[in-house]
Structure 1
Amino acid sequence: MLYTRRGLVVAALASERVYSDLKERIILGDIAGNTLLSEGEIADQLGVSRTPVREAFLRLQAEGWMHLYPKRGALVEGVDSSEGNEILEARRLIESWAASRLAAAPALLTKVADELETTLISQEAALAEEPDLQAFIIADLHFHQLLVESAGNRILTAVYRQLSDRQRRMTAYAVKTGSDRPYRVLQQHHDLLDALRTGDPHKFVKALDHHFNDIHGASPR
């Protein structure tokens, strides 16, 4: 019985490792959308049997990251324009609300703005000398999440966090498909922060629309 339990634990750990590895590679664009993966290929890459790979594939399919084709493999889902626009629309609604909420509390706004400025220092550091795009993408996510979390609505914060993986994937795609785009993202984050500090939510929304349109090609609503 002890051996069986130990074997189950080892199998579960292997499945989790495969799942985490594949999901992160999909998010960062190291595995592109519309790539067909085979169980054997991934098992060989990660040094595991096919069983944990199959379990990871099923989990990733349930979350919408891939689609399984019996006897052929798993096709990684791309981000179509409809899904991308829906994600940005949800983000716009929540982030605009957060800016309005903070504008109504000047002392809190000042505190949050100072914290956001610290995240921009992290983004700037990620682009210094040898750019670290993974660190840049994480700092990008933190900038937007901090804005929403600081506004103090747990339900909206939870909804926003559910978008985080797909948000990171869209950002990764954007910054890796244009050599100057990370620097534009950084400048536009400074613009967002400047607009937030004015206490005028409309200026923030205007800056946010420009940010989404320029980086992700989404038209303002």
Structure 2
Amino acid sequence: MSDHHAQQLERLTFFSDAVFAIAITLLVIEIHVPHLPGGGDQAYLQALYGLLPHLFGFVLSFLVIGALWASHHRVFGMLQGHDDGLVWPNLLFLLSIAFMPFATALMSGDVNGRVPALFYAASLLLAGLLQRWLFTRALRAPRVRPQVEPAEIAAARWRTLALPCAALAALLVAWTAPPLSYLCYALIPFLTRLLAAQGRRRARRRQAVAA
């Protein structure tokens, strides 16, 4: 593709990186430093204990958004140029990322509540589905660099199922046991590796059959 298309892809990537960075930074806003004039050690320990749900929400969402950024970075590094077909899918995906600080604040305010847990899971499910839509459109010829192996393209596509699967499981668990629903997100790293390996195997099997 032309230098113009390469520059447009670079601009789109820089803009996306900025949205990810801002969303991650906004997560910490809900963690307010306790102000206890003359409170003593016990008062500070109690105040910090009260912040644990917000710290939990910060760490969880930081890791999820960070993983989504890493996937976005990996996939866009496979591309050789930009076209208008990527703009709106990328914007809608970034919309879900920019919304995450609000969903995190709601969840952190009551980690035992059903509605906050359902809302958080639904937000992650939407982000995962939009990511899959974006990557499915992006990883098509002639957008992909010629030197990228089909197995890696397949792995990138299959990885996008990890977050929707974990979020859907969390959505179901949150209906009856909201606090336990957050354990479902611990499955994401394992699902990512498992699905990526499955994608590579299927792609290599197809190559072997075609050969």
Normalising by structure 1, we get a TM-score of 0.29
Higher helix share goes to which structure? 2
Higher strand share goes to which structure? 1
Normalising by structure 2, we get a TM-score of 0.30
